[in-house]
Structures are given as C-alpha cells and as structure tokens.
C-alpha cells in the first residue's frame, strides 16, 4: 500500500511558459520601496487604494519614482483597477509570510509542559519548538505525539498555553484540508495514501500520508485525526460528557497511537478506528480516502 511515485509525472514548479520567472519574481520584491507599497496596501482600511493615498502612506515624495516601483509590482503582486490598486494573491502571500515571520524571524523558546499523558508509557508531555516546527513528545520515553510546521508568528503575544491551543487548532485545520483533497500550502490537489510502516514520525505502523501533486507538500498522521469533527464521533463524546473541541488532539490515544487503528481490507481498502470512552467503544470504518463508511457503538 505504499504510495506511487508521482515525482516523474509532476512538472517542475520552476517551469512556466506563461508566468513570471521565479528568480525575477523574488527580485521584484527585493526592494524596500516595493515592500513598503505592499505593506501600505495591507494596512489600508479599504480596497482598492488610490495612487495618491498609496504614495502618501509610503511617504515617497517623488511621484515618478513611486510610480516606477508601483508599476514593477503591478500585474504580478498588485492589480490596477479603475479607482486604484489592490492585492493579487501573490502580494498577499508575501505580506502574510512576513507577518508570520517565515522570512525574517527565527525565534526559539524553551520546551514547556502540555496537557495529557504519553499514550506509550503514561508520563507527562512537553512541547518543543525548533526550525519553525512544534513537536509534542513524552519527557521519559521520547514517544512522539505529532510534529508539524508552526510559523514563528504563531508564538507572538501568546502564553505557552495559548501556543499549545493554537498548535492544536492548526493541526486540525491542516488535516481537514488535506483529507478533503486541498493542499494547505498552495491549494493544489492533495492525494491520500494509507501506508503500513513502522518508521514514522508519529510512531504508528498504519499511517496516513497526504501529498500535494502540485507543490509536493506532505502531512503524516494517524487516521483518527480525520474524525475529530465527524458528527458521530463528536456526538459519541458529547453524550459521555466530553467536548472534543476542548481536548487537544494529542490527548486522544486514537489520534496518535497505532493500536486503535487496524486494516480491515486491502481490496477494497478499508480501515477501522476504535474509540473507547466511559466503558463504551465507537468503531468507525473508513475507506482509502478516509471517508466514513460506518459507525457503531459496542460495549468496551
């Protein structure tokens, strides 16, 4: 069940016959005046923004020089409309990346404790941040409970508890998009593969791999993460006094441990996730695309 090699089928992202060369695109914004124009557009209360208003906000007296820089951005990062200028998606991405700290921030924070116990040994858990990735790990046995990209901007003006909550929400969002076939990075087509493998960042032998055919972005997870917002799973917990929205994903064993997921069939591909709670157990059958086929409650 290993995923097919699609690298040979993908065109290089650097090859484009009808768009700006990537090197030229980066060169266009490697200028303080042009970055100031993008920043002014971002800060504007309304859109589009007139030429005069934009020049005033940037603070450039020379109209001709300002127009030169603005026209360099127009068509690629900015669009010109009848009553002014507005962002194109690429322009917004540049500013959002700066705000997120992806270009210019390299923060570090000391590991800090988070809620929950290790699904492997029962010890406490800690969150650590390095190279723009946040990981939840057992302090004793080192068992991983998930490691995902977390932009530096996510640390700004947040307590440690708020960082953990933001990380939990981000992971849920990333996997919802990926399982629905949408890449969280470029919105390209995301493919889902069920993989039997003991060597995984999550420590699971039956895992889910999501891979974007367009930008090759990947996510690795346990199958249970797909079920966090499923109505039957949410109801099963609510009826037993548990709100899934208030429980970090890493505190739910069926979201991080392989023992709760088993392969039911290879042809057609089906798997089952067991969710025990309060003496009962919800069993969820899913297909290879992680669509729920059946749910049933049994005595634990």
Higher per-residue confidence, 20 vs 292: 292
pLDDT at residue 98 in the model: 65
What's the confidence (pLDDT) of residue 278? 92
Alpha-carbon separation of residue 232 from 10, 262, 300 (angstroms): 38, 19, 17
DSSP letter string over 152-189? GGGGTT--HHHHHHHHHHHHHHHHHHHHTTB-TTT--B
CB contact at 8 A, 206 and 261: yes
pLDDT computed for residue 69 by the predictor:
92
Using CB atoms within 10 Å of the CB of residue 53, give its burial: 0 to 12 exposed, 13 to 18 middle, 19+ buried.
middle
Contacts of 71 (CB under 8 A, 6+ apart): none
Q: How many C-beta atoms lie closer than 10 Å to residue 22's C-beta? A: 12
Instruction: Encode pLDDT of 178-215 as tens digits.
Output: 999 999 888 899 999 998 866 555 544 788 999 999 88
Query: According to the model, what pLDDT value does residue 105 have?
Result: 53
Is the pLDDT reported for residue 44 higher than 80? yes
Domain ranges, ordered by start, for the chain: 22-100
For strand 112-117 and strand 124-130, is the pairing parallel, antiparallel, or unpaired? antiparallel
Indicate if the pLDDT at residue 77 is higher than 60. Answer: yes
* Structure confidence at residue 21 as a pLDDT band (50, 70, 90): low
Q: What are the start-end ranges of the E strands in 214-267?
A: 218-221, 261-266
What pLDDT does residue 20 have? 54
Percent of the chain with pLDDT over 70: 85
Whole-number pLDDT of residue 199: 57
pLDDT mean over 30-38: 86
Q: Provide the CATH number for the domain formed by 22-100 in this structure.
A: 1.10.10.10
Backbone angles phi, psi at 117, to 5 degrees: -125, 150
- Residue 55 and residue 63: Cα distance in Å, rounded? 8
């Amino acid at each position: 069940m290993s995923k097919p090699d699609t690298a040979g089928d993908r065109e290089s992202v650097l090859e484009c016959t009808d768009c700006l060369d990537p090197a030229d695109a980066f060169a266009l914004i490697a200028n303080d005046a042009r970055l100031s124009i993008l920043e002014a557009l971002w800060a504007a209360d309304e859109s589009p923004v007139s030429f005069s208003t934009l020049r005033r906000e940037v603070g450039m007296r020379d109209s001709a020089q300002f127009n030169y820089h603005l026209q360099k951005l127009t068509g690629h990062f900015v669009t010109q409309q009848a009553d002014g200028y507005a962002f194109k998606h690429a322009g917004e991405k540049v500013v959002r990346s700066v705000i997120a700290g992806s270009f210019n921030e390299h923060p570090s924070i000391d590991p800090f404790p988070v809620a929950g116990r290790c699904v492997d040994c029962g010890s406490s858990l800690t969150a650590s941040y390095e190279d723009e990735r946040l990981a939840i790990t057992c302090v004793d046995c080192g068992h991983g409970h998930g490691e995902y990209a977390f932009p530096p901007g996510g640390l700004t003006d947040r307590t440690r508890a708020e960082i953990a909550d933001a990380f939990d929400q981000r992971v849920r969002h990333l996997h919802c998009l990926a399982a629905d076939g949408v890449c969280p990075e470029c919105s390209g087509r995301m493919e889902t593969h069920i993989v039997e493998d003991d060597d995984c960042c999550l420590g699971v032998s039956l895992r889910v791999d999501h891979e974007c055919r367009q930008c090759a972005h990947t996510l690795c997870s346990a199958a249970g993460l797909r079920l966090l917002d499923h109505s039957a799973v949410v109801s099963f917990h609510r009826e037993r006094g548990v709100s899934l929205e208030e429980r970090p994903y890493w505190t739910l064993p069926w979201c991080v441990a392989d023992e709760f997921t088993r392969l039911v069939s290879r042809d057609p591909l089906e798997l089952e996730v067991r969710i025990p709670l309060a003496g009962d157990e919800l069993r969820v059958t899913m297909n290879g695309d992680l669509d729920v086929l059946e749910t049933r409650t049994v005595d634990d």
